[in-house]
Amino acid sequence: MAKKTFSARSFILCIVLTNAALPCAAGDWLTYGHDPARSGWASDEKKISPANAGSMGVQWKTHVDNASFSLSALTAPVVSTQVKTSAGVRSVIYVAGSGGSVFALDAVSGEELWHKALRSMAAPRKGGFQGTFLCPNGITATPVIDNESNTLYVIAPDGSLNGLDLGSGKVTFGPVPYVSPFAKSWSLNLVNGVLYTTVSLGCGNGRAGVYAADVRDPRRPAFRQLMLSGAYTAGIWGRGGAVIGEDGRLYGGTADGDTDPDKGDYSNTVIAASLHDLSIADYFLPASWKYLKKADLDVGSASPVWLKWKNRNIVAHGFKEGVVYLLDGESMGGRDHGTPLYATPRLANDQEQCCDGSGIWGGLASSRDAKGDTWLYVPVGGRPSAHGPAFPVTNGANPHGSIVAFRMVADPATQKPVLQPAWVSGDFNFPDPPVIANGVLFALSNGENPNQRGDESKRFLNTRPAILRALDAATGRELYNSGNAISTWVHFSALAIADGMVFAVDHDSNVYGFGTGRTTPITTTVSRVHPVSGPRNQDELSTSWIGRAERDNEYLRTWVLRAGATLALVLFVAFAGTWAGSREERPL
């Protein structure tokens, strides 16, 4: 069988949204968001359709040996079909855990095929954000699959780049230093033998920027970096990491920090970098950037999506502000770097709050339908704006969040792209990035508590089990709702679709395979599994670092009791020895 990879040619076939989409490594979901452009569109998927999505159900549920740490648990899944394993040729799903291990599961049965614990050659320092939900000291970047070399690339907690054999988990590349130890890195991307990740937040003293690793010659890997700001916090935060277009450019939105492009500071900016030499090629700086910085409505809360429309390279981006911008990949913000092709009215966040989940988080998605129409899908947190666009199709109240859909059409006067409102979904509490397959849109109502105000332990209160929902991609009508099938909530994750299956994870380190057919799931628990950290109900505090003070108190009480018992034993032995000695010295 021919090997599959993101070569330049197959990459173009994968992400150019043609009227009759060509197959792209059929059944595979090799990277976050399906492709380097982060479209979220499984363009080759034909087994799922609006006609059978209503019969979806959990096919299997597997609990893997990973203890969650604060809000982190498992990365988003990636999938490769036709993998040669010791058990034969399998379709395999891969997830990495916050504890530093990688797991490979049979995509059909959920059986664990192998796991690999990545060794760490450094210890995390204390102070700053280290050891918090912002810098969890574990694996944070979704791995990426290279079918051509039969390799899963993953960044270990100590910042090293590792290549694992897809079938066995054996280390076949590295480990070699890549990013700072215990840095906050985001989903890996792979184009033409070069790996890309982004770093933000200053975790592990890692400088905010883009990091590239050329692994075409595994014995002579080459590394390059692009620093985006003198501020450690101002990197590309979107969970999709580096978004790469067919046009040979890399895109991303940055967070708060210093903003002065003349000095190389690109905070609150959508940047375009050349893949040729990883230099800044262009940028878009919103006219309201000073206000965005003051209100903490920074550009980094979501990942953009790149797409082709009428021979134009388009970048669509939205963030906490609640507005979606269409940018020209050839001229990001026009001559003044501040003029988009198009901007929507505010979709949400009328209260202009930075940190309660309102606005746009996670990432946008795009697809083309059978008619050739280009669609843009946006996860929106919180109530819809009172001043937002009117959607011709609505699907019920949505006080906590929703998915909104637009058609991309030409402005009659200018022929520039504009977004035509199509539909808005029912309630998502809160929405994660959508994915699309054959006319069906899937998204998680992730169930987390997004309110970042106050003591962080409150994030573990009032959570709800995540719900997988399938919607008609043309109308937003609900086709499937997973109900209570998922055990707990999930934070900063995403879905994968491959070969008629939809894959998800939760905070309790469970992996789920959804598909049509069996309604009674197979549940697999590996024998070495330890109890997973995290709340078992919405009123229970986390047993991760959030609850460390309570555990430390309990540990102290236990230590005092043990120390007291030990001291009593020592005193008793000493007294007994003295008493025995006095008996021996007593004259007969």
User: What number of residues does the chain have?
Assistant: 588
> With left for phi above 0 and alpha for psi between -120 and 50, is residue 296 left, alpha or beta?
left
Under a CB-based contact definition with an 8 Å cutoff, are residues 164 and 152 in contact? yes
In the prediction, which pLDDT does 100 show? Answer: 95
Q: Which of 198, 260, 252, 251 is closest to 229 using CA atoms? A: 260
Whether a cis peptide bond, with omega within 30° of 0, leads into 430 is: yes
Cβ burial 182-212 (10 Å sphere, 16+ → b, else e): bbbbbbbbbbebbbbbbbbbbbbebbbbbbb
In the prediction, which pLDDT does 19 show? Answer: 31
Question: DSSP labels for 139-162?
Answer: --SPPEEETTTTEEEEE-TTSEEE
Under a CB-based contact definition with an 8 Å cutoff, are residues 232 and 250 in contact? no
The residue ranges of every structural domain in the chain are 8-543, 544-588
Under a CB-based contact definition with an 8 Å cutoff, are residues 126 and 135 in contact? no
In the prediction, which pLDDT does 567 show? Answer: 53
Can you tell me which residue has the tokens 């280390």?
171
Q: Which of 284, 356, 362 is closest to 325 using CA atoms? A: 284
Q: Which of 385, 382, 428, 423 is closest to 406 using CA atoms? A: 423
554 burial via Cβ count (<10 Å: 0-12, 13-18, 19+): exposed
- Taking CA 75 as the corner, what is the angle to CA 316 and CA 303, rounded to the nearest 5 degrees? 10
CA distance 547 to 540: 10
CA distance 223 to 216: 12
pLDDT tens across 552-565, in order? 333 334 334 444 55
In the prediction, which pLDDT does 550 show? Answer: 31
> With left for phi above 0 and alpha for psi between -120 and 50, is residue 354 left, alpha or beta?
alpha
With a cut of 70, which residues of the chain have pLDDT below it? Answer: 1-26, 454-455, 518-522, 524-588
In the prediction, which pLDDT does 540 show? Answer: 28
CA distance 489 to 216: 39
Both structure tokens of 202? 């200053």
Query: What kind and span of H or E run contains 586?
Result: none
In the prediction, which pLDDT does 131 show? Answer: 81
Could you tell me which residues come within 8 angstroms of residue 195 by beta carbon, excluding any fewer than 6 positions away?
144, 153, 161, 188, 189, 212, 213, 214, 215
Superfamily name with CATH number, domain 8-543: Quinoprotein alcohol dehydrogenase-like superfamily (2.140.10.10)
Both structure tokens of 176? 């070699």
Under a CB-based contact definition with an 8 Å cutoff, are residues 102 and 65 in contact? no
| Dihedral of alpha carbons 557, 558, 563, 569, sign | positive
CA distance 319 to 416: 22
Q: What is the pTM of this model?
A: 0.85
Cβ burial 46-67 (10 Å sphere, 16+ → b, else e): eebebebbeebebbbbbbbbbb
Q: Which of 217, 234, 153 is closest to 189 using CA atoms? A: 153
